[in-house]
Chain A
C-alpha cells in the first residue's frame, strides 16, 4: 500500500475524485470541524458534525458530512431556489441573496445537515469546498483527516475499496441501499475490516 501525495488528477469533471468516508476509521479528533473553518468562503464556521456514537460505553465516533445527494431534498424543498447544484454534483450553500431563512432545507434533509445562522437569518451548509474541489484539490476536511476517515478518491480507488472489503454476503455496507437516496459521497459504514483477509 502506498499513500500518494495529493495532486489534481484530471480536469475532466467526469473523472474527478469524490469524497469517500470510512466511518470505522474515525477517532473523534474533530480536525475536520476545525479545518472546515479554514476554507475561504466558510466565514470560519464549520459546516460538518462529529458524533459520539455511544459515549457512556466506548470511544466510537462518526463524522456526519453533507453527502451531496444526487436529488437533494434541501434544494427541492427550498421555496426560493437558493440552493444550487454545481456541475460536479456538489450541493452548494444557499445563495445569500436568495435565502429567506425558512429552514425548510434543514427539516427536509434526511441527515439534518444545513445549519442556520440566527443573527443573519441565513442557512449555511457544506459546499464541498467547491473552490478547491472544482480543481480536484480535496476539501479541507478530507485534506487534514488524520485517520483517513475522510478521503478524496477516484472512482477506481473507491471500487478497489469495495472489492477489498467484499465478503459475498451482502455485508458491504456502503452508501446504497442503506441511505435515503443516491449520493455523490460514498460512505462505508462501520465494518470495514469484516472482509479483510489476514496476512497470516
Chain B
C-alpha cells in the first residue's frame, strides 16, 4: 500500500521493538487519526505518532490528542470492581473496597431484581454516553430494553447534540451532522460559523478554515466572545448569549430583501418559504440589532457576504444548540442555506461540529429514550418489529419510550426511578442545575457506574465496574462528517478491566437473558449484529463493514449494502428525507432565553470549553500536561464590568445565580461582551459552573439552556476563597 510506506522504516518514527497501531483519538468528534506506539515486549502503549495519511486531519492533533495515550496506563485507572457497603458515604470517594467480578455481578443482579420485583420494570434506568464505539452504544440500548426491560434509557447527547439532531430532522427529515465531508471546507468561499469556539473545541478544523481566508474567502463568526477564531474573522457578530434566533432571522430577512433567494431551488425543493418570508420581515437590521446587541452594519455585511458567496457553508455548535430554543436556532441558521440554495452540492451545505467522539453514531442507534438502531422511532411498529427480530424478542416486549436525560433525574428525585446503571458519562459535572442532580443521584436505592477513572459521578455509586479505555478495545465510531471509522485495539485491558459490551453480555446472563446476548463473544460479533439492526433505517450501516472502512478510509452513512460505497455528500440529487422529498424552511418566532438579566442578576452567564480539557474533565484533568496548562476554572470578565464591581485580574469572586454559587478567579479580557461572563465547565465538586446553570429544556430536544442564564458577582471581602 502506498500509504504510510515511508513511515514504517524511519528510525525514530518507527522505533525498534515497537509496533504502530493506527487508530483515532479518544476525544471529540474530529476523531483525528493517530498511531499509537506499542512496546512489543510489554504490550503497553508508550506514545503517539502522527497519522499523516488520515485524509481528514493529515497527522494533525491538538494537545488533548497528543497526550490521549497517557490515559491508558494511568495510575488512576480502576483495575478491579469496587463495592461500597456503606451507602451513607455516597457523594464521596470513600468506602469502596475491591471485589471480584462475580461478587459485583451477583450484587447487581440481586439488587436490580429486588427493585424490579418491588417497584416494577421501570424502576431501573440506564444513563449512557457517546464517547464510545457504535457497537457499545448499540448494545447499551439493547441491554436496557432487553436485559433490564426498562423504558428509562437516555444519554449525555441530550446535553450535547440533541438540538442539532432535532433541527436537522425537522428541516431535512434526516440527521446527519454534516451534509458534506470536512475535506470540502477549505475550498468553500464563505464560512458562516455560529456558536462554535472551533479553535479550542475542534482545533484540527482550523487549518482548513484559515485556508478559506488565505484563498480570499470570508469567515463570519457569531459568538458573544472574541474567541481565537473570531479574532481573525472578516465579520464578528458579537451577539448577546441566547439571541441567535433573532440574528438568524435578521440575516435571512436581508438575504431575501436583497435578492439572494434562489427562487427555483426554493420552489422545487422546499416548503414553508412564504410563511417564513413573512415572519422574518419584522427582523429588520435595526430590530435584530436591538435584540442581539450586534451593530447594524455588521449584520448587513454578514448577510451580503453570505449572499454573494458562490459557495458557502453554514456551521454551528453548542453555542446555538444549548439553548431552550436550540432546535429552532439550528433550523433558523439552516434556513439560510435552503433559501439561497447553497446546499446539496460540493463545497456548500450545513454542518454541526459534533462534540463527543461518537456524538453522531451514538445518537443514532438506540441510546436515546425514543429511538431504536438505524435512527428509527420506538413508536413506529414496523421499526419495533424489525429490531425485535434481530434482538430475539417479541415486538410486544419492547418497552415504550422513556424520558430525556435531565427528566430522568427528576424521576430519581421523586423515586419513580430507584436504580441506575451509569456508563461513559459524568453527569455530576456535566448536567445543569447540579445541586438538584447530585441530590437526585444520592436518593437512588442502588447505582452502578462503569468507568475507567473514578469520576465525580462514580462517587455516588454502590458498585463501580472498571471499563477499558478506548485503546483497549475495537469498534467503529461515526465522526462529525458522518464518516464511520475504525478504532483499533492497541493493548490488552489492564488489570481486570473489561469493555462495557462484555460486562453487559455477562450481566445479561446473570439476569436470565443469556439467550439474547451469549452469542456476542467479540466486538466484531456485536458489530455484525449492530449492522443488521440498522438495516432499512435512515442511518443504515448495513454495508459499512470493517473491511470497507479500512479500504476506503471510512464509510459515510447511509451505506446500504456490499456494493454501496457510502454517501460523502448528502442531497446531491436535491432529494430531502421528508415524504415529499422537500426540505422545510421553518418560520420561527423569536423568544428570549428562559432567564433574562434583571436587577438582582444583571449579568449573562455563558459556559464552554478550553482547548486543554474535554467535557467533564474526568480524563483530561488527570493528564499532567493538560492540567498544567489549565488546572482551575476561571471567570472571564470585561474590564469595564470588572471596574464596576471593583474586581481585579486573578482576584477570587463569588459568582451566583438563582440555583447555585461558586468561587472563581477573575480573568480580565476585552474579548468578551460587557454584559456577559464566561466560565469553562470542565471542573468538579465546588468548582462546577453547572451548579449555577439553568435546566430550562428545549421543548423538542430536551436540551438544557447551558449557554444563557442570569448571574451576579459579589466581591469577596478578603479576596480569598470562601
Contact = CB atoms under 8 A, between A and B. Distances in A.
Contacts of B213: 193, 196
A93 to B, nearest CB: 14
Which range contains the number of B residues in contact with the other chain? 35 or more
A137 interface: yes
Contact of B232 (A24, A40, A41, A131): A24
A1 B210 contact: no
Nearest to A26: B228
A59 interface: yes
B670 interface: yes
A38 B48 contact: yes
B503 interface: no
A37 B624 CA distance: 12
Contacts of B588: none
B65 interface: yes
A56 B670 contact: yes
A25 B59 contact: no
A200 B639 contact: no
B454 interface: no
Given A5-B52, A58-B670, A39 B210 contact: no
B38 interface: no
Interface in A23-77: 24-25, 27-31, 33-35, 37-41, 55-61
B559 to A, nearest CB: 24
Given A59-B227, A146-B60, A200-B310, A5 B53 contact: yes
Interface string B639-674: 100000000010000000000000000001111000
A3 B15 contact: no
B213 to A, nearest CB: 6
A30 B308 contact: no
Interface string B46-86: 01111011010111111101110000000000000000000
A131 B65 CA distance: 22
Given A41-B12, A164-B214, A7 B6 contact: yes
A77 B62 CA distance: 36
Contact of B215 (A29, A40, A137, A199): A199
A143 interface: yes
Contacts of A197: 216
B228 A144 contact: no
Contact of B63 (A29, A129, A164): A29
B15 A40 contact: yes
A158 B67 CA distance: 31
A101 to B, nearest CB: 25
A8 interface: yes
Contact of A31 (B53, B61, B210, B216): B61
Contact of B52 (A6, A29, A33): A6
A144 B204 CA distance: 9
Nearest to A60: B231
A183 interface: no
A162 B297 CA distance: 33
Nearest to A144: B61
B63 A34 contact: yes
A144 B57 CA distance: 9
Interface in B254-307: none
Contact of B226 (A8, A56, A59, A164): A59
A56 B228 contact: no
A200 B211 contact: no
Nearest to B227: A59
B61 A192 contact: no
B555 to A, nearest CB: 20
B187 interface: yes
Contacts of A39: 12
A145 B227 contact: no
B13 A137 contact: yes
Contacts of B47: 38
Contacts of A61: 228
Of A35, A164, A197, chain B has the most CB atoms within 10 Å of the CB of: A35
Contacts of B310: 199-200
A34 B67 contact: yes
B63 A132 contact: no
Contact of A1 (B13, B59, B211): B211
Contacts of B208: 3
21 contacts: A1-B215, A3-B58, A3-B208, A25-B207, A29-B63, A31-B203, A35-B66, A58-B226, A58-B231, A58-B670, A143-B52, A143-B59, A144-B59, A146-B57, A146-B61, A146-B62, A147-B210, A148-B210, A148-B211, A198-B217, A200-B309
Given A34-B63, A35-B61, A199-B216, 10 more contacts: A1-B186, A6-B52, A27-B229, A29-B199, A58-B231, A59-B227, A140-B50, A143-B60, A146-B205, A196-B215
